[in-house]
Structure 1
Amino acid sequence: MSGRTDSDAAPAISRAAQADEPEDHGERGDQGEPDAHDEPDASGEPGDHDDRYDRDEHVGEARRARWTAAGAGGLLCLAGCAAALLRLTGPAPAVVPAAYALGAAVCALAAVLGSRGRTRRALWLLVAGTAVMAVGDQFD
């Protein structure tokens, strides 16, 4: 092997990659079926499909997810704070109220992230905060 960098392998590779790509059908899908925007509406004109209703459904789902994440985070935060205060006044070791307080802080962070639309991260933080509270309760 001579190690030449200007060999003819690159054009052959690019032709093979182009052969694997589907043909361009304009505005139609991969199978040649018309797109949702190409279907005629009530006036009979293609391309006048109003997808405003599709967006409204997704906006409603996102809003519900944000409210759920924020509400669950706030509720778990309040429960963790209440449990930390109750355990602090009792004969429990100091690690128990600290674990409840830490779990409540994580759940509060989850509520903030959930209200900002980061619902997946908020879900994982809710799980982690609840697990911290549960592990802390085992020390009692």
Structure 2
Amino acid sequence: AQIVMFVLLGLLVSPQRLMGSIGPAVVIALALMLVARPVAVFVCLAPFRFNWRERLFIAWVGLRGAVAIFLASIPMLVGLSKAYLYFDVAFVVVLISLMLQGWTLAPAARKLHVALPRTDRGPRRIELDLPGQ
């Protein structure tokens, strides 16, 4: 369902229009990922017993996805002037977050030593008795 939502919301993106706002959108994405979210996470988790590695990992995980893009599409649905700018910026922020943070999630967990050890030992072999054999 999430893939379908991303495809449908992606249909609202105009590549020509997106190129005009990609520079500021990248700056906003990097500021959100590297400054705003870590500060918010460290402040919100201050009363709890998380060590700095766990806090940093939580800050890196971040929220991303179709909800942010959908919320940014509401001004377009209402018909506000320059509403496409909100949508384009949110779209670029989500894409950068998915590509950068999403693909580096497992290496970040290992580097910060917060990854849980694997409990499965790989595929198990099961013998099947078929009729007639």
TM-score by length of 1: 0.29
Greater relative contact order structure (CA < 8 Å, 6+ sep)? 2
TM-score by length of 2: 0.31
